[in-house]
Amino acid sequence: MKLNFINHSNDVNNSEIVIFGKNVATGFDELAVAWTVIRYCGQGDNHPFIYPMTQTISASDSWGNYTAQQIAPAGQRFAMVLTSSGDQIVAQGPATSPREIQLVNALNQGAVGAQIYKDGRLFAAKTDIAPQQMAVFDFSPTIWIGVASQIEEGDVINAAIVSQVNTEISLLGIASADIVMTGGGAGPNARPFAFTLENVVMA
């Protein structure tokens, strides 16, 4: 899915644009991860990027090791297991839901983390998965976009910023589209930032 951010705003603060997804398999306390951060995109500039429908999964152990990423289609279950070479992530067949990606901590000791990547960048994460516990990921074809500051790609976004970033964009059935930012500015004529889809091509 080809997306193109276009800055048609009156922003004079060189704001950063943060884009992230949400794991709908869990509650509202889920931590969001800054998947894409757009910087220095001046008025009239654009920033193309890809939103892949596929994703990869990696796991980390309590020793600070990270497994190699594996393709993780929805409906797949994985496990973190101890092999003769150390901790490894292995596919275990279908998940209990066709929408979910599941990771079980099958180690006898030590908590593990689960990381989901899209386009090679961290998209979602779960930490402190105890032995025999399971992390569950379920993603709608939806992104959230908003203006933020001092955020790096891969950072966990604090709840205050997440609550301010309330523009939800559905990408269902889209092959390509422009995401146009308007608003901003200084003084009495300043307007809230707004993000709209334009030039949408359906898949």
Structure tokens at 9: 């705003």
Count structural domains, the chain.
2
CA pair distance 9, 87, nearest whole angstrom: 49
Instruction: Read off the pLDDT of residues 110-166 as tens digits, 9 standing for 90 and up.
Output: 999 999 999 999 999 999 999 999 999 999 999 999 998 889 999 999 888 888 888
**Token duo for residue 65:** 């090791």
Q: 3-state class of 152 per DSSP?
A: coil
**Which pLDDT score is estimated for 25?**
87
User: What are the tens digits of pLDDT across the range 18-37?
Assistant: 999 999 987 656 679 999 99
Distance CA(18)–CA(83), nearest Å, equals: 39
133 and 188: one domain?
no
Contact 17, 4 (CB under 8 A): no
124, 149: one domain: no
Q: State the number of CA atoms in the 13 A half-sphere of 117 facing the CB.
A: 13
131 and 155 part of one domain: no
Distances in whole angstroms, Cα of residue 148 to Cα of each of 18, 86, 153: 6, 40, 12
Expressed as residue numbers, the domain containing 115 is 56-137
110, 137, 164 - which closes a domain: 137
The per-residue pLDDT for range 153-180, each reduced to its tens digit, is: 999 998 888 888 889 999 999 999 999 9
Examine the domain organization and report whether 68 and 129 are in the same domain. Answer: yes
Looking at the structure, do residues 48 and 64 belong to the same domain, yes or no? no
| 79 and 104 belong to one structural domain | yes
Residues 72 and 98 in one domain: yes
Q: Do 95 and 132 belong together in one domain?
A: yes
